[in-house]
A and B are shown apart, each in its own frame.
Chain A
Amino acid sequence: MLTLPRWATDCLKRADPALAALTRPFVLWEKQKGAMRLVAVDAAASALGLSAGQSLSDARAMVPDLEAREIDRLYLEQVFADFADWHSNASPIVSVLTHDEAYGDLCLDITGVSHLFGGEAAMLEQLTNRLRDLGYTVNGAIASTIGAAWAVAHLLPGRVVAPGDESQVLHAMPVSVLRLEPAQIDGLNQLGLKRIGQLHERDRKSLQARFGVSFLLRLDQALGWIEEKLDPRLPIAEWYAEHRFAEPIGLIDDVLMCTHDLAVQLAARLEREGVGAQGFHLFLYRVDHKVMTLSVNASRATRDAHHIGRLFAYRAERLGAEYDAGFGVDMIRLAAGSISPLMATQTGAFGLDDGAQGLDLLYDRMTSRLGPLAVVRSKPVNSYIPERAAKLEPVVAATPDDPIAQMPLEVPRPMRLLPHPEPITVIAEVPDAPPASMTWRRVNYRFVKASGPERLGDEWHHAGNKLQLTEGSVEAAKADETEALYFEEGRTTRDYYVVEDDGGRRFWLFRLGLFGIATKPRWFLQGFFS
């Protein structure tokens, strides 16, 4: 358990060198119920008697040369979340305790980790010292329950509570360290129950009736009678390999080289267990307590170290200028997710290489460089409306086929489809006849051949989805927008025609709305035939 009581001011001071050089006391204020009240004070300010909860004007009266700023809670929370992630270089399970404030309390599950640091006491000292070196005010404690660790970190920092001693340590502590609601603490104080030891001889039923079940839960959790679970910020990776550096590294090439080495290590472990992974996550722990995460996905489970290394190399290329190692990276961890069994295959002289594997590797590389939405496949969807009848689906995130989505009939469909149909003006001899000519993008086309119509009724269950149009034609469409309040058969029915102009170009047109039902049928161009 680590607690940083002055996180808000410390964090801002680290981010802003001008503030750090300041010798005047520094406070943060917030508007609470119309009053400007202090919410965070630094060490110099609290030495002068300022504390959180005071009004800003009082504080200014007491300390005239006060540096005051308004608090930005969202920013502080975000930086603290990064800070918490960074601590996963000490232990994989890190959680931010938010019952009191959204930042400031950090809980690490160090089960089975402390021996790496030379014991629990040594680990606590190392963790707190490295933060003090960075200029943070930090208190820490180790206990076997979260509640006890929190209490000890706040009141008796630096202690390691042996398992079973919680009750004894908490005995003399005030009830406020139990992480209760302010109303519950006030109520207990009113009854004269100020220390945790006093609660033991009380009847639990009456305590529950008066203070609620949450009070007993907190008490039992602190004493270790009920288990409390941490919810880790980062997903727990079962498969990972990591590398720590004596000196921080900065260049992306070095990082990628190390990633390749880690991939080799990880691949060896995956191979030993006969499994492969589809997702790979690279965590770069920067010296200045930030974590950078890079993720790549493979379209089929793999454990090919060379392939994983290349995927990260391409992913890093897409990063470009976003890559910022700060003052250097001192630890790299490569974690594998989405594990599935992967049997060893023999690549032999008689195997028939159908090329499918080579293609999957290619699509993975392209996806990691161009992004998942850039490498897509067309997939049929159960719909008759042409723009809905096919969807583009990322190759790396393939979904199972829809068995009823296949087009049952041999109907003409264009080779190219405009994502948004474009409005055209059409001349037809009689209302229901095939079009004789059209004007599209200010060019006139005269048709010599036409076939159709193919009539597609609107899908009533999608009646709310209006035709998606391009920017320019939105205004024109707005005019008759008002009529489409409810579904009516025939109003948005489309009649599709395949037409060929005198130059042999073949287009796919449709008329929206049937004559006699829609007030003003409109014509659109939707596709091109080869």
Chain B
Amino acid sequence: MLGKAQTLETLKRQVAALETQPLLTDTQSLAAAAGLLATPRGCVHEVFADSLANAGAALGFALAQAKRVLAPERPGLIILQLKSDAQEIGLPYGLGLKNFGLDSEAIVLIRTDTIVELLWAIEEAIACRAVAAVVADIAYPHKALDFTASRRLALRSAASGGSVFLVRYGRDREAGAAKYRWRVEPSLSASPPFDDRAPGPPRWRITLEKGSLDRRRRTSAGGEEYLVDWTENGLVLADTSSRDRAVVLPAYPALSDADPTALGDRLSEAG
């Protein structure tokens, strides 16, 4: 009897470990092959922008990643911001989020007075199994947000399987327990069809400074570089050869979590 219980316990632990470490599983590699930049879930990401003027790109990248981990059984997406930062970098705007492909009325915005309350709220939110992603938008460096705090968040998110995105600004990098650190820079967008002078869909130059997704992209500067375009289906590696035109998407089916191509791969064709 005891042996059975023990076996069950070990199996459970193994499954949990698999769930928190889904890095480059089938879906992952397939998504990469299809040109979609997909990041693993269940860990802490730091998203850095060089200055407050790049705030839109940083939040856009974090939300585009967060959108990928939403699932019917995990519908929660929470954005956190300090009250005092609202005028500095702007409040997330409901109608804009809707244009971005998110259900703005399902997103909950948490505005706290202090950074300590903000960190508490991240921890509390990520501990909930219905929350898929927490995006914390922090305009300035804070003492309370140190290695210990990020380690706590990393443990929490590993335990629950939700993702944490810490959106931060500046060129200074402190020690942190985040598994991935991204640097997001806006890049000149490709023109939309029929209008050369109008801005097209967002295009970002992304450097993965910490962690690794695709070793082939490692540059001499010590990070993996990606140039991505935002599309409704997720982030697509930009085709630099046709930089002057917006990418015309090949007829991919909408890639969501249950990856149809991945499913197709496993089905026996003999039928």
Contact = CB atoms under 8 A, between A and B. Distances in A.
A528 B199 contact: no
Interface stretch (B23-31, B90-98, B168-176, B208-216): B90-98
Interface in B241-271: none
B105 A377 contact: yes
Contacts of B109: 375-378, 392
Interface of B is mostly: mixed
A449 interface: yes
A437 B202 CA distance: 20
B95 A369 contact: no
Given A504-B187, A530-B202, A354 B72 contact: yes
A356 B4 CA distance: 34
B74 interface: yes
Contacts of A451: 195, 197-199
B202 A354 contact: no
Most buried by B among A374, A389, A445: A374
B56 A528 contact: yes
B76 A359 contact: yes
A122 to B, nearest CB: 50
B95 A354 contact: no
B83 to A, nearest CB: 8
A417 B59 CA distance: 12
A451 B201 CA distance: 13
Nearest to A449: B199
A46 interface: no
A504 B188 contact: yes
B57 A505 contact: yes
Contact of B94 (A375, A378, A419, A450): A378
Interface stretch (A86-94, A287-295, A408-416): A408-416
B4 to A, nearest CB: 20
Interface stretch (B10-18, B127-135, B142-150): B127-135
Interface stretch (B34-42, B118-126, B218-226): B118-126
A529 B56 CA distance: 5
A6 interface: no
B198 A530 contact: no
B198 to A, nearest CB: 4
Contacts of A319: none
B186 A419 contact: no
Nearest to A314: B124
Contacts of A354: 72-73, 75
Interface stretch (A128-136, A161-169, A237-245, A494-502): A494-502
A528 B169 CA distance: 15
Interface string A354-380: 111111011101100110011111111
Interface of A is mostly: mixed
A54 interface: no
A418 B92 CA distance: 9
A509 to B, nearest CB: 12
A419 B91 CA distance: 7
B8 interface: no
B75 A415 contact: no
A65 interface: no
Contacts of B91: 392, 416-419
Contact of A450 (B92, B96, B198): B198
A390 interface: yes
Given A377-B109, A395-B108, A415 B199 contact: no
B189 A504 contact: yes
A13 interface: no
Interface in A369-412: 369-370, 373-380, 386, 389-390, 392, 395, 407, 410, 412
A502 B189 CA distance: 10
Contact of B128 (A359, A412, A448, A499): A359
B185 A362 contact: no
A178 B128 CA distance: 63
Contacts of B199: 449-451, 498-500, 506, 529
B89 interface: yes
Contacts of A420: 87
A296 to B, nearest CB: 15
Interface string A242-256: 000000000000000
A527 interface: yes
A416 B230 CA distance: 17
Given A358-B130, A379-B105, A418-B87, A506 B96 contact: no
Nearest to B100: A415
Contacts of A389: 95
Contacts of B129: 355, 358
Given A355-B73, A370-B117, A450-B198, A377 B59 contact: no
Interface string B47-82: 000000111110111011000000011111000000
Interface in A265-293: none
B57 A374 contact: no
Contacts of A374: 83, 110-113
A415 B131 contact: no
Contacts of A361: 128
A430 interface: no
A348 interface: no
B186 A376 contact: no
A75 to B, nearest CB: 31
B76 to A, nearest CB: 5
Contacts of A506: 56, 186, 189, 199, 202
A502 B124 contact: no
Contacts of B198: 449-451, 498
Given A359-B75, A377-B107, A390-B95, A415 B56 contact: yes
Contact of B121 (A357, A370, A410, A417): A370
Given A413-B99, A415-B92, A449-B199, 8 more contacts: A354-B72, A356-B75, A374-B110, A374-B113, A379-B105, A380-B94, A414-B90, A504-B186
15 contacts: A359-B131, A366-B124, A375-B109, A378-B94, A378-B107, A386-B95, A415-B93, A417-B91, A417-B96, A418-B91, A419-B86, A419-B91, A451-B198, A504-B204, A528-B56
Interface of B: 53-57, 59-61, 63-64, 72-76, 83, 86-87, 89-100, 104-105, 107-113, 117, 120-121, 124-125, 128-131, 185-189, 191, 195, 197-199, 202-204, 230
CB-based closest 10 A-B pairs: A530-B60, A378-B94, A355-B130, A416-B90, A528-B56, A504-B186, A451-B198, A358-B130, A417-B93, A390-B94
